[in-house]
């Protein structure tokens, strides 16, 4: 399965969705900063290559789900400021869709499903 790379500018939304009903998202990398000149960074200003790894955060929000949407704001990344405060940063995400299965689960003492766990199979 191919990996999709997406650059999402400050204040925009990262949106990902798997087309297959039996597929879930698996985020493979996520960086927040100014990695290179792109649609989000037009000028260098001497601050290219500053970034922080936000895989854990994006993975928790998106992996194991059929679709995901998150707004790209500093506060959504624990106020991570890998670059100069006056410069806009962006999110660069790599993900793929893999075969998966959704399973409802009960916690002890509950009578209804308390959530959904997605298991990646293969």
For 73, residues 6+ apart whose C-beta sits below 8 A from its C-beta are 10, 11
Is 31 within 8 Å of 92 (Cβ atoms)?
Answer: yes
Amino acid 104: pLDDT: 44
Instruction: Report pLDDT digits (tens) over 27-49.
Output: 999 999 988 888 888 877 777 88
Q: Which CATH architecture group holds 4-120?
A: Sandwich (2.60)
Regions of the chain with pLDDT less than 50: 103-106, 110-122
∠ CA(44), CA(48), CA(50), 5° rounding? 150
- Which residue from 15, 6, 13 is spatially nearest to 39, judged by alpha carbons? 6
70: enclosing H helix or E strand: strand 67-71
- Enumerate the domain spans of the chain: 4-120
Global pTM reads: 0.77
- By the 10 Å C-beta count (0-12 exposed, 13-18 middle, 19+ buried), 90 is classed as buried
């Amino acid at each position: 399965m191919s990996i999709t790379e997406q650059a999402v500018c400050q204040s925009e939304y990262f949106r990902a969705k798997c087309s297959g009903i039996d597929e879930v998202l698996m985020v493979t990398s996520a960086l927040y900063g100014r990695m290179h000149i792109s649609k989000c960074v037009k000028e260098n200003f001497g601050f290219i290559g500053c970034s922080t790894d936000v895989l854990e955060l994006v993975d928790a929000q998106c992996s194991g789900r059929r679709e995901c949407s998150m707004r790209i704001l500093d506060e959504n990344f624990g106020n991570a400021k890998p670059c100069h405060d006056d410069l806009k940063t962006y999110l660069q995400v790599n993900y793929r869709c893999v075969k998966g299965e959704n399973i409802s689960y009960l916690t002890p003492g509950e009578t209804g499903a308390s959530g959904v766990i997605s298991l990646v199979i293969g």
